[in-house]
Chains A and B, each alone.
Chain A
Amino acid sequence: MTIEVRNLVKKFGSFKALDGVDLKVDNGELVALLGPSGSGKTTLLRIIAGLDWPDAGDVSFNGEDALAQGARERHVGFVFQHYALFRHMTVFENVAFGLRVQPRAVRKDEATIRARVKELLDLVQLDWLADRYPSQLSGGQRQRIALARALAIEPRILLLDEPFGALDAKVRKELRRWLRSLHHEINVTSIFVTHDQEEALEVANRVVVMDKGRIEQIGSPDDVYESPATAFVHGFIGESIELPIEVNGGVIRLGDRPLRLAADGLVPGASKLFVRRHDMLVGPPGSGAFEGAVQHVRNFGPVQRAEVALSGGETIEIDAPRDRELRAGDTIGLEPRRYRIFAG
């Protein structure tokens, strides 16, 4: 099933949750909608599911207009952030729900329903919990039951809203890997929403980065990390150093200090320079584009994180390998191995 979204606009009062969103998801893809809270990602997901309606724009599944159908007819599996399991039903009945509410004409008989639920509980490896109630399950178990329930209706599309948001770090890691292999197994077109970049980069085939109701970049996990299209994406994904600079007459200045960096092809005016923390190479004083004094050093496993006060006045954090120990008070030169400059 392909999903196509064209020029979607959704307002809540004067707040524009979606401001002209275009997106195409191919059959069998696993796409992450990544962005800070309030970026519109959950709204987009709910509109695709039919739980919300846009003020303008189109949504189509395999070329048919999806907005002509309600949530009930769209056949979309939706996994809610807080699972929304039916608290008065057992795990078994929760998973069976979608099969039991089918119109009489197509409803399966009891034996078929039981077999199907059993199969789904096996798939999420929780068949031994069939008689429990949701309140008796852990967060990770609830999450998997919610997924089994959504899969019961053999959805054309699977949508997951912050699927790991409410779980602790260890369970979250396990479930991520599990979700990816599950997707590989069932191969249904899936979109999940997350604000966690690591999650998006690790699980998805493609990442859609959103901010303020607009799509900033669509690309593979490597694309959005290695070649961020906008200042927002660079700042949001990966740990970045962000410096306000001025481009003027072929020279880049930080404060009033010219930097030894090429300014070819840059638009004159105020801009932002982005460097990954680990892309700042440490050298002797006077050796790189920047110079600064080490303020403070902490060790994180293989790297040392140093706070450096640049001579331009800004303070930045860099991650350097531990082969050359840095000490507070050292004066060092810094050379960005890779950097990007965005106008504005």
Chain B
Amino acid sequence: MTLQIAESASLVSPDARARAHAAAARDSLRTEPRAVRITIIALAMIFLTVFVVLPLVVVFAQAFSKGILAYLAALAEPEALAAIKLTLLVAAISVGLNLVFGLIAAWAIAKFDFRGKTFLITLIDLPFSVSPVISGLVFVLLFGAQGYFGTWLREHDIQILFAVPGIALATTFVTFPFVARALIPLMQEQGTQEEEAAISLGASGLQTFFRVTLPNIKWGVLYGVLLCNARAMGEFGAVSVVSGHIRGETNTMPLLVEILYNEYQFVAAFAIASLLAMLALITLIAKTVLERHLNEGQDARDH
């Protein structure tokens, strides 16, 4: 605090001439020629419009190209409803699992020191660095008819591939890093002092978690869940490999979009796609709100 005052005092003290001089120097350093500025901004805007805004507009334009009734009818198709239901179910399962796993992994990494910690951190990122198709294939290798557990599963009459469990597993794998990634830096920064304080005040492990740890990371948790959910609902590659594309049964929304499109049912395809696009927009807005909360927490800590 005193340091800041001293600094600002020394900034104010030079005489006006020196100040004007400094300002001029700063301007010439910061300001590109007008033409360059306009060109750069225009390029950025054009790029964004062509690659981001335009596709979004096209999705909605196509979806409503035969009118709102056709749009609603396409969404009311049993196949479409089944896909929406399946997508919601799979997202709920994988977000739930990743919430628990992500919390545990972040807790372990942020609050304890152990051998192999760096390896674990690297491993958490694996699903991000592997192509989703390969993630799907891994499950085929494990649970497919020719796979390692295939025979055992068939004997016990358990269906994993081409059914909800397979889709949920593949989605969970692909979306694993989101919650953990959101929490690790947050929890590392917060350290363990508040937990130690809680325990020395007589709180049990669970009380410490629910009364101290969780409230401190709640915005981070929501942030991770939000991104995890967006990816879970939109996942195509891994799910495509394990789903089997059984109509009305194992088609998620992204898979159904592709099928409908290939069958030239453009309105139906884009109607489903518009739902996914809306999910993206809602996610963006929620993300902005959450980021504000996260930054506020940061500021409060810096004081």
Q: Which A residues are within 8 Å of any B CB, using their own CB? A: 49-51, 70-72, 74-78, 80, 82, 84-88, 97-98, 101-102, 133, 135, 149-150, 152-153, 168
Whether the Cβ atoms of A98 and B202 lie closer than 8 Å is: yes
- Report how far A98 CA is from B202 CA in the complex, Å: 6
Residue B53 interfacial (CB < 8 Å) = no
Q: How many residues of B contact A (CB 8 A)?
A: 21
A88 with B216, Cβ < 8 A, contacts A97-B203, A97-B211 known: yes
B4 interfacial contact with A, CB 8 Å: no
- Is residue B10 contacting chain A, with contact meaning CB distance below 8 A? no
In the complex, what residues of A have CB within 8 A of residue B207's CB? 101
Establish whether residues B194 and A72, one from each chain, have CB atoms under 8 Å apart when the complex forms. Answer: no
Enumerate the 10 nearest inter-chain pairs by beta-carbon distance, A residue then B residue, closest first: A98-B201, A84-B193, A135-B300, A101-B203, A84-B197, A88-B215, A78-B200, A101-B207, A71-B200, A71-B199
Task: Tell me the smallest distance from the CB of A1 to a CB of chain B, in Å.
Answer: 16
Q: How far is the CA of A135 from the CA of B216 in the complex (A)?
A: 14
B163 nearest CB across to chain A (Å):
43
CB–CB B199/A72 < 8 A: yes
* Cβ 8 A contact of A72, one of B204, B215, B216: B204
Count, A-B residue pairs, CB within 8 A? 70
A82 and B193 form a contact (CB under 8 A): yes
Q: How far is the CA of A71 from the CA of B203 in the complex (A)?
A: 10
Chain B residues with CB under 8 Å of chain A are: 2, 193-194, 196-204, 207, 211-212, 215-216, 297, 300-301, 303
Partner of A101, one of B196, B202, B297, B301: B202
Are B212's CB and A86's CB within 8 A? yes
Task: Tell me whether B196 and A153 are in contact (CB under 8 A).
Answer: no
Q: Residues of B contacting A76 with CB < 8 Å?
A: 200
- Docked-complex contact B198 and A78, CB < 8 angstroms: no
Given A87-B300, A87-B301, A101–B200 Cβ distance below 8 Å?
A: no
A101 B197 Cβ-Cβ under 8 A:
no
Complex Cα distance A82/B301, Å?
Answer: 11
Chain A residues within an 8 Å CB radius of B297? 87
CB–CB A97/B300 < 8 A: no
Taken together as a complex, chains A and B put the C-alpha atoms of A32 and B214 apart, in Å, by: 36
Which chain A residue lies CB-closest to B218?
A: A88
Is B193 touching A80 in the complex (CB atoms < 8 A)? Answer: yes
> B193–A101 contact, CB under 8 A?
no
> Closest residue to B205 on the A side, CB-wise?
A72
The closest CB in chain A to the CB of B303 belongs to: A135
Q: How far is the CB of B303 from chain A (nearest CB, A)?
A: 5
Task: Let me know if B300 and A72 touch, CB within 8 A.
Answer: no
A133 contact set on B, CB distance < 8 A: 300
A51 and B194 within 8 A (CB): no
- Find B201's partner among A70, A82, A101 (CB 8 Å cutoff): A101
In whole angstroms, what is the CA distance A72 to B300 when docked?
Answer: 29
In the docked arrangement, what's the CA distance between A102 and B207, Å?
10
Question: Chain A residues with Cβ under 8 A from B199's Cβ?
Answer: 51, 70-72
Q: Give the complex CA separation of A97 and B203 in angstroms.
A: 9
Q: Which residues of B contact A150 (CB under 8 A)?
A: 200-201
Q: Which residue of A lies closest to B296 (CB)?
A: A135
Question: Are B194 and A84 in contact, with the CB atoms below 8 A?
Answer: yes
A101/B303 in contact, CB under 8 A: no
CB distance B201 to A153 under 8 Å?
A: yes
In the complex, are the beta carbons of A97 and B198 less than 8 A apart? yes
Complex interface: chain B residues within 8 A of A84 (CB): 193-194, 196-197
Chain A to chain B contacts (Cβ below 8 Å), 9 pairs:
A78-B197, A85-B197, A86-B197, A86-B198, A87-B194, A97-B201, A97-B211, A98-B202, A101-B198
Minimum Cβ distance to chain B for residue A12 (Å):
10
The answer to whether A72 and B202 touch across the interface, beta carbons within 8 angstroms, is yes
CB–CB A50/B211 < 8 A: no
Chain B residue with the shortest CB-CB distance to A88: B215
Q: Which residue of B lies closest to A46 (CB)?
A: B196
Chain B residue numbers with a CB within 8 Å of A77 are 200
Task: Report the bound CA distance from A149 to B300 in whole Å.
Answer: 20
A75: chain B residues within 8 A (beta carbon): 202
**Across the interface, which residues of A come within 8 angstroms of B202, CB to CB?**
72, 75, 98, 101-102, 153
What residues on B are CB-neighbors of A85 within 8 Å?
194, 197
- Expressed in whole angstroms, the minimum distance between the Cβ of B131 and any Cβ of chain A is 41
Q: Are B194 and A86 in contact (CB under 8 A)?
A: yes
A169 to chain B, nearest CB (A): 10
Most buried by B among A84, A85, A135, A149: A84
Please, which residue of chain B has its CB at the minimum distance from the CB of A137? Answer: B303
Residue with the greatest number of chain B CB neighbours at <10 A, chosen from A71, A74, A75, A150 = A71
Query: Is A49 a contact partner of B204 (Cβ separation < 8 A)?
Result: no
Q: Smallest CB–CB gap between B146 and chain A, Å? A: 49
Q: In the complex the two chains form, what is the Cα distance from A150 to B200 in whole Å?
A: 9
* A149 and B193 form a contact (CB under 8 A): no
Query: In whole angstroms, what is the CA distance A76 to B215 when docked?
Result: 25
Query: Measured between C-beta atoms, what is the minimum distance from B179 to chain A in Å?
Result: 20
Output the nearest chain A residue to B197 by Cβ-Cβ distance.
A84
> Inside 8 A of A86's CB, which chain B residues have their CB?
194, 197-198, 211-212, 215
CA A150 – CA B211 in complex, angstroms?
Answer: 17
**With A84-B194, A88-B215, A88-B216 in contact, is A51–B200 under 8 Å at CB?**
yes
